[in-house]
Amino acid sequence: MLYLGAAFADSEVMRRWHRTRQVINYVNLSTPAGLLIALIGGARPRRGEQGLIFAHGYRIPFPVAGAFTVGNVVLTKNADGYLTGRLLDHEARHASQYVACVGLPMIVLYLVASGVSYALCGNPASWNAFERLAGLDDGGYPHKAVRWRRSREGRSDHDVHDR
């Protein structure tokens, strides 16, 4: 048999993971909930990359983010072509977080983490554990310092995106 190298093996493992994540998020009801939210929000679901479902054209003004994920459904108000590269990887990590949180409890846990982050630094994403694990930079979020570590100007060495 022809050896195709680590790239093939990694891609096969990823495909298996994507399929496993699809099944788990369907069974834990997070993907059906995401599809329902897409329907209510007027988005058009279609098969996307990394085992995800892209729902473009979401019309409800909440949440404010450019994209958000419920189960394996990534919802965005933006047109086709928006969900690519690092942002797509970020949203795929959120889909995996739904597996780890056994589905819909992720929404409550995410909201609590957003509240804690806002209390710590005035930004709902910077210290949100889910956003940090999904990659703040990949999601386009700032790195804000906690309130008590800021200088008089409101910055610290940790506010790398404010410079």
Same-domain status, 116 and 63: no
Same-domain status, 23 and 75: yes
Query: What is this structure's pTM?
Result: 0.85
> Does residue 4 register a pLDDT over 70?
no
Whether the CB-CB separation of 97 and 130 falls below 8 Å is answered with yes
Please give the mean pLDDT across all residues of the chain.
90
Same-domain status, 119 and 159: yes
> Does residue 67 register a pLDDT over 90?
yes
Task: State residue 149's pLDDT score.
Answer: 82
Give the three-class secondary structure for 98.
helix
List of E strands, 32-121: 44-47, 53-56, 67-70, 73-76
Whether the CB-CB separation of 51 and 69 falls below 8 Å is answered with no
Same-domain status, 72 and 40: yes
Q: Which domain holds residue 42?
A: 1-102
Of residues 150 and 130, more confidently modeled? 130
How many domains does the chain fold into? 2
Domain end residue (candidates: 102, 121, 152): 102
